[in-house]
Structure 1
Amino acid sequence: MPTTTGMKGGGYYDANSKAQRAAMEPFLPWLEASIERLPAPSQGQDCYRFLDIGSSEGANAVFAIKRLIRALRRVSSLPIQVGFDDLPSNDFNRLFLNLFPQGRLELAAEEIYACAVAGTAFGRLVPAGSLQLATTFNAIGFLNEKPKADLPNFILPMAPGPHAPRRGVDVTDQDLIPFRTQAASDLKAFYTARAAELVSGGQLLVQVFGRRGELSTSHGIYDVLSDALLDAVEQGRLPQVVYEQLLFPIYFRSLEELLAPLQPGAEHEDCFEVLQAEAQEVVVPFNQQWELDGDVNAWARQYTGFMRAFTEAILAAALPENLPQAEILEWIYERIEQRLMATPERYPFHYISIGALMKRL
């Protein structure tokens, strides 16, 4: 069963996901440059078929797919069917509004056909051998299942950031073993499903938040969220057990971990050829704006909105029903914003984006 119910809907994720777009943009030129080498549809397949996995409300997914369609249209006028996938609980109404903002398809070309697909990234989503192209952006870091393991001293199966130590907040290497194992299993399941769905010569572009060296995309975000939750516990707004049992089922891979199943001797070495792969720190719009104008209040507000878009659903599901959930959620995110304004040096955010373009063998 999926570990999360999706992003915050109603247009909130779209409005607060500029950083996610910045993280995916460096990798789109790879595919734009190679898309003309996609295998043409077979005689029994009358169109190209694309699938974007983890599309959320769709603003970023539609942005990416439009660019890829324009690139393919330089060499082919054949019809293209595009599927947009996410969990069944996703706000698909908002996705369709992004696809049809004025009642017409927003993909800027003739003979384009869009559809929605509901399902987990770690399983099969379309028939075997039916795709020329699959993409996924900022999605496969969410664990498909929660291991039977506890982390009572932190809210994330990653080490806390180095700038925000707090007594009692700790994750050991031993603690992380079940989560690393689950993340590795999820990745193998993802590659198995895509290998089945892609035709020979089809391409797969994978991009996801991750870590590089001492920097992890998890730093800052989950430190300030942890601090706000512990503040709520200390003030009697939340029982201690809520913090101890709360777990954000997210794993931040290194580039080496992303590619491990494709290495010689590994399970998927004969499935994909890696064409390009890189880990890089991307420019975060709200960080950049703060550097320009020095407005820490605006930075804190945008930082909070960004993190709320992908943390609220999990946090809300963890709150006991006998508590005033809406009131507590508002208090927590207000407290996060207050902490960011008061001590921004404790919660620096670095967006490490890892990506790989590969070809189905």
Structure 2
Amino acid sequence: MGIMKTKRVIEQAISDLCHTRNNVNFPKTLVMADLGCSSGPNTLLVGSMVINAVANTSFEMGLKSPDIQINLNDLPTSDFNSVFVALQELQHYSANGQFMDVQAQPSCYFTGVPGSFFGRLFPMKSLNFVHSSYSLQWLSQLPELEEINKGNIYLSSTTPESVSRAYFEQFQTDFTGFLRCRSEEMMGGGRMVLTLAGRTTDDARDEESYNLWRPLAMALQDMVFEGLVEEEKFDSFNLPQYTASPTEIMDLVKMEGSFVLDHLEIFDVNWEAWKREKNDNDASEMKQLTDDHGVGHGVSKAIRAGIEPLVANHFGEAILDDVFKRYGQIITATSSKETQKLVSITISLTRKM
């Protein structure tokens, strides 16, 4: 759902990229990197969007579509084999699931690139377009904390100011380092579209950033009361992510200095939005899960898919089923009072010449 909301921004970035090059300099090969691509059903969605956008823009300009090199990047633990198996489907379906006229599409070549995007991944000035979706809110490491963030697993209204400051400083280091690495890898005039979980408020400890993590903290706290989790273990567990504000992002882009910020927009992704996607098979399946188990079941499955390794590494695998079942039950119990949503920020950048 979040990726589809950025479709227009991605298409505009590709169109601008192609139109800023005249017929003589129009690229014979457009090289793209999708950073933090994961290995789920949405992994190839952005690639489909780029392929279609390049084909449409080339047609509008009366030029032959360039070849497209798509580099799929994630950590070495990602299941790249499943991604490559799914590539066959990309040859037949467009981003909205309709049959694709393969003859009209550019020639595409895919590469898997394992490694952390907080460091260099590609040769100097080799990329035309970079994309990343819901990855950059995750930090390269948990910041060193001077105080205990007691009773919380992320920033909240009761978090000490020193903890909040440490989180921001780690995000600042990671985000500017990311921009610096991409500036070295991208050609002048290249485009980059980044989407990350964020917040609309100035205070990083505002509850807006915590609404999806509070139920997990509550579930863990209940397990502490029942003697199933050690209190010290609970108090030492903090999620390595930071939901930045638009102002923080704009300031860091300006401070790093390699990119022009072309566009920024904020939107909400409602965890129940799939209820309205009646033509989506996955949405129908998720709706059935909701009908049977409550809205929290679907939210719990999505959250578990993202953070299960973090929970398992800290608390052990034995608690996983119990804690995420409790998490889902808490979400269901509060869903009539609270709308579970994810504040998202998308930015479109141009690499300075």
TM-score (norm 2): 0.81
Q: Take 1:146 and 1:40, find their aligned partners in 2: how far apart are those partners? A: 46
Residue 265 of structure 2 corresponds to 278
In the TM superposition, residue 122 of structure 1 has moved relative to its aligned partner by 1.2
Residue 139 of structure 1 corresponds to 135
In the TM superposition, residue 289 of structure 1 has moved relative to its aligned partner by 2.6
Q: Take 1:154 and 1:203, find their aligned partners in 2: how far apart are those partners? A: 42
In the TM superposition, residue 288 of structure 1 has moved relative to its aligned partner by 6.0
Q: Could you tell me which of 187, 212, 218 is aligned with 1:227?
A: 218
Q: Take 1:184 and 1:111, find their aligned partners in 2: how far apart are those partners? A: 38
Q: Take 1:106 and 1:118, find their aligned partners in 2: how far apart are those partners? A: 26
User: In the TM superposition, what are the counterparts of 1:1-361 in structure 2 within 5 Å?
Assistant: 19-22=1-4, 24-25=6-7, 27-37=9-19, 39=21, 47-74=29-56, 75=58, 76-101=64-89, 109-149=105-145, 151-159=148-156, 170-213=158-201, 218-263=209-254, 266-268=255-257, 271-282=258-269, 284=270, 286-287=272-273, 289=275, 297-320=293-316, 325=317, 327-345=318-336, 348-361=339-352
Residue 167 of structure 1 corresponds to none
Consecutive unaligned residues of structure 1, counting only runs of 5 or more, are 1-18, 161-169
Partner amino acid, structure 2, of 1:267: E
Partner amino acid, structure 1, of 2:265: E
Q: 2:200–2:246: 8 Å Cα contact kept in structure 1?
A: yes
In the TM superposition, residue 93 of structure 1 has moved relative to its aligned partner by 2.2
In the TM superposition, residue 155 of structure 1 has moved relative to its aligned partner by 4.3
- Secondary structure of the residue that 1:81 maps to in structure 2? strand
Q: Take 1:40 and 1:235, find their aligned partners in 2: how far apart are those partners? A: 68
In the TM superposition, residue 190 of structure 1 has moved relative to its aligned partner by 0.6
Q: 2:17–2:189: 8 Å Cα contact kept in structure 1?
A: no
Q: 2:271–2:340: 8 Å Cα contact kept in structure 1?
A: no
Query: How much identity, in percent, do the aligned residues show?
Result: 21
Q: Take 2:69 and 2:207, find their aligned partners in 1: how far apart are those partners? A: 36
Q: 2:11–2:50: 8 Å Cα contact kept in structure 1?
A: no
In the TM superposition, residue 239 of structure 1 has moved relative to its aligned partner by 1.0
- Secondary structure of the residue that 1:212 maps to in structure 2? coil
In the TM superposition, residue 198 of structure 1 has moved relative to its aligned partner by 0.5
Q: 1:151–1:247: 8 Å Cα contact kept in structure 2?
A: no
Partner amino acid, structure 2, of 1:352: V
Q: 1:99–1:105: 8 Å Cα contact kept in structure 2?
A: no
Consecutive unaligned residues of structure 2, counting only runs of 5 or more, are 59-63, 95-101, 279-286
Cα 1:199–1:154 change in 2 (3 A) is: farther
Cα 1:157–1:335 change in 2 (3 A) is: closer
Aligned length: 322
TM-score (norm 1): 0.80
Q: Which has the higher contact order (CA 8 A, sep 6+)?
A: 1
- Secondary structure of the residue that 1:194 maps to in structure 2? helix
In the TM superposition, residue 329 of structure 1 has moved relative to its aligned partner by 0.4
- After superposing the two structures, state which structure 1 stretch, 170-179 or 235-244, moved more: 170-179
CA distances 1:13-42 after superposition (whole Å, capped 9, x unpaired): xxxxxx443554463343254242365899
